[in-house]
Structure 1
Amino acid sequence: MSILPTTNELGFFEIRLESIGGLGANLAGKMLAEAGVLGHGLNGSNFSSYGSEKKGTPVKAFIRFCEPEVEIRAHSPIEEPHVIGVFHEALYKTVDVVNGLQADGIVLVNSERDMEAVREELELDHGTLAVVDAMSIAVEENTRINTAMLGALYRVLRFLDVDKMRDVIRETFGKKYPHIVDANIRTFNRGYEEVSFKSYEVPEGAEQKPFERQPSRLGYETQEIGGIISAQANSIAKDLSGSRQGFLPAFEQEKCINCTHCDTVCPDFCFVWEEREDKRGRKQMVLQGIDYQYCKGCLKCVEVCPTSALTEIRETIGYSDEHRVKQTFPYVEGVVK
């Protein structure tokens, strides 16, 4: 008897994880596939799609399960998944995370917001929505969010045995990092226990989310001769907030001595300066604040600040928008949000 709740026309139960580099979705996909194959005797496959292997870049992990007698000959990205896991809400800004979701599909989101707010933003009319504050769990347990997300996935996918995943966690981390095994087990357990979910009735004849493949902006027909990149200063249009993992720097201008140590170690355009006169009438650059659009949360600035004008705080919803001081790029118009 099959343990899979449903399959597509090829006999696959498919899961897609939408994430950002640095959150551990690639490893989560591998662990999930391993638990299904070795722990449950299913046939399965897993692979990931990512770009430059750095924090902040979009990552997708694809997991397929089927019965042992079904051969897996499909190795393409999953376009019409039964389950989608969203590791960071910042993805909403650039990626249609529920692209191609089945009509009765399940969406798991890492968020501290209430379920209805998440549902409204995802425009999810039917199916099952699950929400877990995986970031808070990971921060409190000093781990990454991937094991918390796996715990939540196991809660909504009831055909999977939690003990099998605990064995995989011990096997995965035990060889190289035995000191973090217990913390990741706790993170997994908390994700399983703290996830909340709600199912919305699927009306008769309801259609799945249409899948739309994003066309490439540059290809062999549209690329400039010689591979020229004609867009100037294109990095200033990026939103790096998705790279943060629960913490960011807070700025107190009263304590700042404008030493520029923070700007020296900052890898991006975070710090906003303005030319002003000091008490003696001499011109100098004065730090006005932080443009959180470019802040990855590396906290190097906090480490080098000699006056504690920059301190590490736990990121909360709306803080970065409320305290953001926007950069101005006088030679580039219409690029910065």
Structure 2
Amino acid sequence: MKRDEIDAKTARDEGVPRLPLSPAMPGAEVRSIRVSPDDRTVNRIVALPHPARFFEIRFESIGGLGAHAAGQVLATAAVLRMGLNGAHFSSYGSEKKGSLVRSFVRLGPAERPIRTSAPVETPDAIVVFHAALLRNPATVAGLVKDGTFIYNAPPGPVPVELAALPHTARVMRVNALGIAVEEKSRPNAVLLGTLVAAFPFLGADRILEALTEEFSGKHPEAVASNARAFQRGAAEFETLEHVGCAEGDLPVARAEPVWGYETQPVGGIVPEAGNTAWNDLSASRTGWLPVLNREKCIHCGLCDLVCPDFCLAWGEGEKGGTYERELMGVDYRYCKGCLRCVESCPTGALATETETPGLADRLRVPLFPDLIR
């Protein structure tokens, strides 16, 4: 119903307060939210760090790591538990899992409605769910000079790509994937904990309540593990010093068309045949990968039938041996870690292992050794 038609009389008769709503555009359709007197959904009003403008967060992720759910939890907590206006939406490709995902959260004071659905280009905070995304300059684009940059990676050398950050920015690292594997959770719960530690005004208790509410219906078994992962994310991070070298706010990255009217190729022609060999899908894995034990393998080919990315490397069998073609290993450059090969293996030759730094490079059997090393 329209805002000027909200039935205040019903609220008085029932003795039930209504959630205050910020001013909306004339004629806009709104939904009133009734809250029982003993409901803890609406807590105190929270003050934003910069009241004169929106507080904006951008999650950079790979589909399957939970960036969309993290943004949804954060925006829901802001609206229902902090008295703020909030907006959240995500952008992703048709493949979803394994493809690039960006999730945007925009928060504003209760008296200032959010009337834009544009992507967040100048975020106060950027949260990166996979370190492989740092290779793309657009991942760090637009960060304000006093912004916060949080990324998921195990302890080790700082990636050289982070030198592009403002030298005044705060940089935080947390081993979200490692913690998530240990707690049987997802990296999003860990990174939400680190984000709350970076911005205490969000309130750890409010975000944790929203996280619990998000999963208690469909996945009640994940509530306890998510809570542990969240708490570890809030405690087990490290702040890195002297990382960025840039001055001021980072420039905004906007995609420009590659082809124009005079330069586009003729329709129906593939100018670079076989170009998918150059793709690197390793960033799509979420902490696990298949490992081959050749002593157990009977080279039946069932794994090859179910592999969606043809990342299994085959070779000639030994002369006089039982098999003409044998499975040599996995080219992890193209492996997304879907583990369908493990599920289909009748002998257990393919098993699931936790991915640790350097494991994939050590076990990789290249499909195109003369093309890509």
TM-score by length of 1: 0.87
Paired position in structure 2 for 1:4: 48
**For the residues of structure 1 that align with 2:362 and 2:273, how far apart are their CA atoms?**
29
d(CA) in 1 for partners of 2:281, 2:140:
21
Q: Matched residue pairs, number?
A: 327
Q: Partner of 1:295: helix, strand, or coil? A: coil
* Cα shift readout 1:187-216 (whole Å, capped 9, x = no counterpart): 21121121222455999x931222222324
Establish whether residue 44 from structure 1 lines up as the match of residue 44 from structure 2.
Answer: no
- The question of 1:32 aligning with 2:94 is answered no
Q: Partners of 1:257 and 1:174 in 2: how far apart?
A: 43
Distance 1:253 1:93 in 2: 34
Aligned: 1:105 with 2:142: no
Larger mean Cα displacement after TM superposition, 33-42 or 68-77: 68-77
Larger radius of gyration: 2
* Structure 2: gaps of 5 or more residues: 1-44
Which structure's relative contact order is higher, taking Cα pairs within 8 Å and 6+ residues apart?
1
The equivalent residue for 2:216 is 174
What amino acid maps onto 1:87 in structure 2?
A: F
Write out per-residue CA displacement over residues 281-335 of structure 1, whole angstroms, 9 at most, x where no aligned residue: x9822222211011111222223334443222110111112222211299xxx6x
Distance 1:223 1:120, change over 3 A: closer
Give the % identical residues: 45
Whole-angstrom distance in 1 between the partners of 2:188 and 2:259: 33
Q: Which residue is equivalent to 1:250?
A: 291
- 2:86/2:105 contact within 8 Å kept: yes
The structural deviation recorded for 1:178 is 2.2
Q: In the alignment, does 2:368 pair up with 1:325?
A: no
Cα gap change, 1:22 to 1:264, in 2 (>3 Å): same
Paired residue for 1:18? 60
Aligned residue in 2 for 1:314: 354
Q: Which runs of 5+ in 1 are unaligned?
A: none
CA distance change for structure 1 residues 59 and 219 in 2, over 3 Å: closer, same or farther?
A: farther
Task: Name 1:286's counterpart in structure 2.
Answer: 326
C-alpha separation between the residues in 1 aligned to 2:62 and 2:269?
Answer: 28
Match status 1:302 vs 2:342: yes
Change (3 A) 1:69 1:228: farther
Q: Deviations over 1:11-37 (max 9, x none)?
A: 111110000111110111111111112
Give 3-state SS (helix, strand or coil) of 1:293's partner.
coil
Out of 140, 145, 151, the position equivalent to 2:187 is: 145
The answer to whether the 8 Å contact 2:162/2:244 transfers is no
In structure 2, the partner of 1:274 is: 315
Higher mean C-alpha deviation, range 93-102 or range 265-274: 93-102
1:76-101 Cα shifts (integer Å, max 9, x gaps)? 11111110000011212345311111
| C-alpha spacing 1:134/1:202, structure 2 compared with 1 (3 Å) | closer
Q: Is the 8 A contact 1:150 1:191 kept in 2?
A: yes
Task: Give TM-score scaled by structure 2 length.
Answer: 0.79
**Is 209-218 or 266-275 further displaced after alignment?**
209-218
Separation (CA, whole Å) in 1 of partners of 2:212 and 2:261:
47
Residues 49-71 of structure 1, C-alpha deviations (whole Å, 9 max, x = no match) = 11114221111111111212223
Q: 1:191 is matched by which residue type in structure 2?
A: G
Tell me the amino acid that sits aligned with residue 133 of structure 1.
N
Equivalent residue runs for 1:199-238 within 5 Å: 200=242, 206-217=247-258, 224=265, 226=267, 229-238=270-279
1:196 aligns with 2:232: no
1:265 maps to what in 2?
A: 306
